[in-house]
Structure 1
Amino acid sequence: MSISFFWSRAFLTNRFLLWLLFWCNLVGTVYGYMWYGQQMEYTIANHAIWQVIFVPDSPTASLFFTLAFLFLLYPPKSLALKGFSLLIEALAVVTSVKYGIWAVSIIFAGAAQGDHLVWQDWMLVASHLTMAVEALLFVRFFRFGTIMLIPAAAWTFLNDIVDYTYGVYPWLPNELLDHLFAVQNFTLGLTLFSVVLSWFVLRLAKRKTI
């Protein structure tokens, strides 16, 4: 068996694997919201309540991907649900690439400034790298087109703007607090990179299916 089989359509769209990934993403989403629980409570207590929506970045990305897997398993029939599923797919890809790379970068940037890494950091590195790889592997099986990248990009940029305007960005290692402006610029640049990369991979995937 060739190693290429493990990223083939036959393997990746097998219903057993899709269900396995659905449950893995769902469990990761729940754990992620629990991880952000303290910051969400702090935000509700000290900020306008609507800002809490923008706090749990990575869990929301994995929630989008959980729903995207559900739509792969059960393709929607109604026009409204089809449109919703296309938006969810685009959001899943853009945000998973963005926050997958972002979390790993911030963890290692903090370590480079003197932060001591513990086992939870390595767990986060592995899980967030998986988010980005998962997005790039499955984009070719999604049905959304280039147009849907526009609202996905708008949401992700809005998240960045709210995060760094109102101070509800994910809590950073203390070693990076003196570099907040650099983190902000990196985050905005990474959003642009993620949108462009998603567009490129999507175009490449669609071209190969023609």
Structure 2
Amino acid sequence: MVFSISWVLKQRWFLWLLLIINVGGTIYGYIWYEGQLSRTPNHFLIFVPDSPTASLFFCFVLVAFLLGKNWGLFESLALITLYKYGIWAVVMNILTLLVTGYLPWEGYMLMASHLAMAIQGILYAPFYRIKWWHFVVAGVWTLHNDVIDYVYMMYPVYHSISMYVKEIGYFTFWLSISALFLTYYLCFAKRRLQWSIKN
């Protein structure tokens, strides 16, 4: 089963399919943030649209794979942020449902798409070629983003659960730490597979 999944992940048609899906999701994500971005100071703009930036990182990973290359910094950024914001969005939508007793269909769509984000980043981890400096830079980016979100209050706005912003910030910090540990385990502690794209 593992071999079968590995075989599918390396097919060019599957890489192209994932790239198209992720490009579409990235564009939709930036549009979703449009209202908040219009109110965001320019020097914080790059740190606000968390999920679409994570999928943008993965788009670069897929382009590199299609070119037969590994871009380790993007691989590290993608794995950490796809897992972090994928799980984060699922938890925030569940929290919204628990607090309000209702979740619109968009919320369920966001949960499914963000869970898929986390899964795709993890599935490709055996093929990443992440070096220590890639890991450090991605880790600094991720933790710095938490500071921007919950010290400078640039976090993604969920009005119905805004009263829990301190608790959400605390949860997000430890989610970042778990993403770093996961990346270390998958890309440094475990044996990595040889990348070879099949026509």
Question: TM-score normalized by structure 2?
Answer: 0.91
2:31 is matched with: 34
C-alpha RMSD over aligned residues: 1.6
For residues 93-104 of structure 1, what are the structure 2 equivalents within 5 Å? 93-104=79-90
For residues 61-210 of structure 1, what are the structure 2 equivalents within 5 Å? 61-76=54-69, 85-174=71-160, 176-206=161-191
Tell me the secondary structure at the aligned position of residue 206 of structure 1. Answer: coil
Higher relative contact order (CA 8 A, sep 6+): 2
Offset of residue 115 of structure 1: 4.8
Q: Is the 8 A contact 2:22 2:56 kept in 1?
A: yes
Query: Of residues 14, 18, 21 in structure 1, which corresponds to 2:15?
Result: 18
Offset of residue 199 of structure 1: 1.0
Distance of 1:208 and 1:37 partners within structure 2: 39
Offset of residue 7 of structure 1: 1.7
Render the CA deviation track for 1:62-97: whole Å, top value 9, x for unaligned.
Answer: 000001000011135xxxxx7xx2111100000000
Offset of residue 207 of structure 1: 5.4
Offset of residue 203 of structure 1: 3.0
Render the CA deviation track for 1:34-78: whole Å, top value 9, x for unaligned.
Answer: 0101110121xxxx31111111000000000001000011135xx
Unaligned runs of 5+ in 1: 77-81
Offset of residue 113 of structure 1: 1.3
More helix by proportion, 1 or 2? 1
Q: Is the 8 A contact 1:115 1:173 kept in 2?
A: no
Would the alpha carbon gap of residues 207 and 65 (structure 1) be closer, same or farther in structure 2, given more than 3 Å must change?
closer
Render the CA deviation track for 1:81-126: whole Å, top value 9, x for unaligned.
Answer: x7xx211110000000000000000110121112520110011001
Offset of residue 188 of structure 1: 0.5
Q: Is the 8 A contact 1:33 1:56 kept in 2?
A: yes
| Regions of 4+ moved over 6 Å | none
Offset of residue 204 of structure 1: 4.7
Question: TM-score normalized by structure 1?
Answer: 0.87
Offset of residue 143 of structure 1: 1.5
> Does 1:57 find its partner at 2:50?
yes
Unaligned runs of 5+ in 2: 195-199
Distance of 2:127 and 2:58 partners within structure 1: 13
Q: Is the 8 A contact 2:127 2:192 kept in 1?
A: no
Render the CA deviation track for 1:161-180: whole Å, top value 9, x for unaligned.
Answer: 01112211000142x22211
Offset of residue 146 of structure 1: 3.8
Offset of residue 4 of structure 1: 3.9
